[in-house]
């Protein structure tokens, strides 16, 4: 399909008010086109025509427009915001038209202290989560209902994070592993990881491997050995086994 060539220089020569008027007329035209297409859809459906291949993009909303469930101006104003459009299709047409015309919605958020706080927001600025909070089947939730919904969602997220287990990090300043609120020295971890075969050598069946390490590395090895109460040889052997170099 060939699209008309846009005269950008002519647009630049227009005043801001003229451009706003041009845009408003275009939006009205698009809404009118959607109404026409919805009527076409309704006639084709009445003839038993299979239109499943056309249910994509704007075509997904034509059946709802044809059924009188969705105002075409809503589709033009909020194109691409599928969660919002589905929610709007469940409320009366007069509210849909008011929201499409710019009516702000009262949304409950949490302030810096975690307390519910109402704010005024245009519909296009709502996140998908806020849409699900504000809209209920057939209506918009009031502040009390929204606060309860927000609390439920926040509690569910907190439980999900708790169920995932505490986060583990290494505190370089103290050389400790921090697991939730618990701190464990690296030496204690190493001592817990030592297997009996790491600490005991069979005198009749041992081999020696010469490994050259720097003075700093040797000092670190001695420190780890002292922290965990593990011999340096056992500690080195354990490291090799944990690296998968000595098998299981």
- Comparing C-alpha atoms, which of 198, 106, 194 is closest to residue 144? 106
Predicted local distance difference test score (pLDDT) of residue 198: 54
Q: What is the pLDDT of residues 97-140, one digit of tens each?
A: 999 999 999 999 988 888 889 999 999 999 999 999 999 989 99
Q: What is residue 91's predicted lDDT score, i.e. its pLDDT?
A: 94
Segment 66-83 shows an average pLDDT of: 89
Q: What whole-number distance in Å separates Cα of residue 73 and Cα of residue 236? A: 72
Domain ranges of the chain: 1-103, 106-165, 168-242
What is the maximal distance between C-alpha atoms in the chain? 97
State how far the Cα of 228 lies from the Cα of 168, in Å rounded to an integer. 20
Q: Are 198 and 237 in contact (CB under 8 A)?
A: yes
Looking at residue 57, what DSSP letter applies?
G
């Amino acid at each position: 399909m060939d699209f008309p060539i846009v005269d950008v220089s002519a647009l630049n020569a227009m005043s801001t008010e003229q451009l706003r008027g041009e845009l408003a007329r275009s939006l009205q035209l698009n809404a009118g086109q959607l109404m026409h297409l919805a009527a076409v859809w309704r006639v084709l459906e009445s003839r038993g025509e299979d239109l499943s291949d056309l249910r994509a993009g704007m075509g997904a909303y034509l059946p709802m427009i044809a059924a009188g469930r969705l105002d075409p101006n809503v589709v033009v104003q909020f194109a691409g915001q599928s969660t919002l459009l589905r929610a709007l299709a469940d409320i009366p047409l007069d509210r849909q038209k008011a929201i499409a015309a710019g009516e702000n919605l009262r949304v409950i958020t949490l302030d810096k202290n975690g307390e519910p706080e109402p704010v005024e927001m245009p519909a296009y600025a709502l996140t998908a989560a806020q849409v699900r909070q504000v809209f209920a089947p057939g209506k918009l939730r009031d502040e009390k209902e929204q606060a309860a919904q927000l609390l439920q969602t926040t509690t569910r997220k907190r439980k999900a994070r708790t169920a995932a287990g505490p986060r583990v990090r290494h505190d370089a300043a103290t050389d400790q592993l921090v697991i939730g609120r618990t701190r464990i020295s690296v030496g204690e971890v190493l001592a817990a990881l030592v297997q009996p075969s790491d600490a005991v050598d069979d005198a009749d069946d041992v081999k020696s491997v010469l490994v050259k390490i720097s003075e700093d590395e040797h000092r670190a090895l001695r420190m780890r050995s002292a922290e965990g109460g593990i011999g340096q040889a056992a500690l080195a052997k354990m490291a090799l086994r944990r690296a998968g170099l000595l098998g299981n």
